[in-house]
Structure 1
Amino acid sequence: MPSRFSTYVSMSVVRVALTAAALILLQASALSAQASGKEDEPDKVDTENLFGFTEGTDTGKKGEQEALVDTISRFSKRRDGPGRSGYGATQPLISYQYDPTDNFTIEPGLLFDARDSRNIAGVPDKSFGTFNGGSLELKYQFFKRTDERPFSLALQVEPQYARITPIEGQGADVFSVETRLIADARLVPDRLWAGINLIYDPQVARLKGSGEVDRSSTLSVSGTLMTKVADSLFVGPEARYLRAYDGTYLNRFLGHAVFIGPVLHYQVMEKGFLTLAYSTQVFGHDRDPDFTDRAFNLNQFARHAFRVRFGVEF
């Protein structure tokens, strides 16, 4: 019964996400038709890096290149007994993006890891910083936004190899393939944009030393609204819903969590940008019997997350 219920809830999450995406796109079409009587032309705003933890659909023009530094930090997990405790993990990604066509991007990257944890349940005490592995992000945008069609769809796949498990920080060979179905829309021309992602991320980790294999996966939905408040400044709220599973195919439901927070995007110069996003867990549930009565899910997820992304086109 638990597996059937978990599968049912997972499918419900997918249906809700697709329904929300459809509503956004329909609303975008209606608002754009009312607000714009201009000739059909592409968007002036690039949504690729406009949002926070949510990705945008846009790709660059053929031959464009971009260098990026993308850092995600996670803080605060459940303490393991009395005394001082602390948890912080930062994973910087340095990448290079190339656009072989107007609708397709290739982005290889190098991963790093720095963390400090002490007196945390299920996490060994340790403090270190090291090179962590590599990734290859591939994204295909099915079509561009225009005045007549103010929305867009894209598919993004990112295979990744890491040397450290993301939560515990243990040495391992970790393989994952994050896959995103991305939709975004221009709700009000030159003023308001919306984005939504449906994300499936399976992971297999072989621990060094013991050889033990851990298989897990997450299914999540994220969405955001960004409004233009100045010539180069965009702000807005973002919400995320994450579900954790044992097994790479969403086999056994472990827990879920809801995150919300603000996003800020600033166009530093014509070819450069800076995006900041903060996300905090406002609700969560852990199926582990030791933690079912706790207010948050701090076993599979941290309490706070912060993302800093900076890039320059050339």
Structure 2
Amino acid sequence: MSVRARILGFVCIAALLPAGARAEGIDTEHLFAFMIGSDVGNVGEKEFQSQATARFSKAAGNYRAMAQEFELEFVPVRNVRIEVGSTFASHDIAGVPGFADRFQFGFQGILLDLRYRFLDRETGPFGLILAAETHADRLDETTAAPVRKYGTEVTLAVDRELIPDVSVAAVNLIYQPEWTRFSGAGQTEREATIGAAMAVMAQIRPGFFLGGEARYLRKYDGIGLDDFEGHALFIGPTVFVKLSDRSRLTANWSFQAWGRPAGSTAALDLLNFERHQARLVLGVNF
């Protein structure tokens, strides 16, 4: 079964779940798929999370990449959240220009995500958080080539309820520098991605949110944004379902609505990005 079919199935099942007795306050910690919210959870809270991210379709050939993360999250003190995890990756690449054909599954790498909330949405005009997710990989997430890769995704997130306990909007600003050394080649590449994202989610029924995310990304050669390589705009629907008091599900399917590689007149940037990106996140408190 494809990732798209799974997401549609989960959404249909969630829509049929019985509603709770009353609407609850909005918690944005896990409300979004490709974005983050300003909430960090309660002190002492622990969670296990499974996050599957799929990326499909290049300009030509067959391209499918899947990253499966397993993560543990905990809140040691107020306003601080720590997450550690590992990633496994599968790739099915054939006939894509500039890519070696690969069909493989393997351990990709480890990650550490640190978040600090500067402003609490309940006591301030909006929520504000700074997150830094650092990863070390042995497989390149795009080409599946063996590498030594290090990177950090720094995100500044702001969110605010539009209608109390009903709808919320969020904005993310992203900077992601990466250093990649290809095995056996003695070659090191430095690149960076910057971007801005916006989302709006509404509580359709208690524990069931529906909305969408839009992400604009720009790719550069060099961590100092030296040479522009291309940009893309992704948009797509997001659904969040509170499955029980201890479990939740978030799903998103985004498509590239517009983009362009540097020096090209193409309508999409399928050189630096994919045509479709999807994410499915399942979390359990314990």
Fold conserved between structures, TM > 0.5: yes
The structure richer in strand per residue is: 2
- 2:56 corresponds to: 75
Q: What are the within-5 Å matches in structure 2 for residues 86-101 of structure 1? A: 86-101=62-77
Q: Give me the whole-angstrom Cα distance separating, in 1, the residues matched to 2:240 and 2:125.
A: 21
Q: Using the alignment, how far apart are the partners of 2:282 and 2:98 within structure 1?
A: 33
Separation in structure 2 between the aligned mates of residue 306 and residue 123 of structure 1, nearest angstrom: 21
Secondary structure in structure 2 of the residue aligned to 1:48: coil
| Aligned position for 1:121 | 97
Deviation at 1:231, TM superposition (A): 1.1
Structure 2 distance, partners of 1:131, 1:166, is: 11
Asked whether the equivalents of residues 268 and 274 of structure 1 are also in contact (C-alpha less than 8 Å), the reply is: yes
Q: Which residue of 1 aligns with 2:83?
A: 107
**Aligned partner letter, 2:82:** I
**Which residue in 2 is equivalent to 1:27?**
none
Which residue, 227, 230, 255 being the options, matches 2:230?
255
Mapping for residues 275-286 of structure 1, pairs under 5 Å: 275-286=250-261
Q: Is the Cα–Cα contact under 8 Å of residues 122 and 168 in structure 1 kept in the other structure?
A: no
In 1, are the aligned partners of 2:156 and 2:172 still within 8 Å (CA)? yes
Task: Show the 5 A alignment for 1:104-253.
Answer: 104-146=80-122, 149-253=124-228
CA-CA distance at 1:150 after TM superposition: 4.9
How far has the Cα of 1:144 moved from its partner?
1.7
Per-residue deviation, 1:121: 1.5
Query: Could you report, residue by residue, the CA deviation over 1:77-115 in whole angstroms, capped at 9, with x for unpaired residues?
Result: 011xxxxx2100011110001101120011010011101
1:53 aligns with one of 24, 34, 55: 34
Contact 2:26/2:166, CA 8 A, preserved across alignment: no
- Quote the offset at 1:134 in angstroms: 0.1
Q: Which amino acid aligns with 2:69?
A: L
Q: Which runs of 5+ in 2 are unaligned?
A: 1-23
Contact 1:150 1:186 in 2 (8 A): no
Hey, what does 1:305 align to over in structure 2?
277
Identity of aligned residues (%): 35
Counterpart AA for 1:300: N
- Report the TM-score when normalising by structure 2: 0.90
**Match of residue 6 from structure 1:** none
Q: Distance in 2 between matches of 1:143 and 1:210?
A: 46
Match of 1:4 in 2: none
Q: Equivalents in 1 of 2:52, 2:186: separation in Å?
A: 30
Structure 2 partner of 1:10 = none
Per the alignment, do residues 219 and 55 of structure 1 end up closer, same or farther by CA in structure 2, a change over 3 Å counting?
same
Q: Confirm or deny: 8 A CA contact 1:123 1:167 kept in the other structure.
A: no
Q: Structure 1 runs of 4+ off > 2 angstroms? A: none
CA contact (8 A) 1:286 1:297 kept: yes
Contact 2:121 2:159 in 1 (8 A): no
In structure 2, distance between residues paired with 1:252 and 1:136 = 29
Return the alpha-carbon distance in structure 1 between the equivalents of residues 218 and 89 of structure 2. 24
Find the aligned partners of 1:313 and 1:140 in 2 and give their Cα distance.
20
- RMSD of Structure 2 on Structure 1 (CA): 1.1
- Residue 248 of structure 1 and its aligned partner are, at CA, apart by 1.1
TM-score, length-scaled by structure 1: 0.82
Tell me which amino acid in the other structure corresponds to 1:205.
T
Aligned AA (1:304): H
Report the alpha carbon displacement of residue 71 of structure 1 after superposing the two structures with TM: 1.2
Report the Cα offset of residue 143 of structure 1: 2.6
The structure where helix makes up a greater share of residues is 1
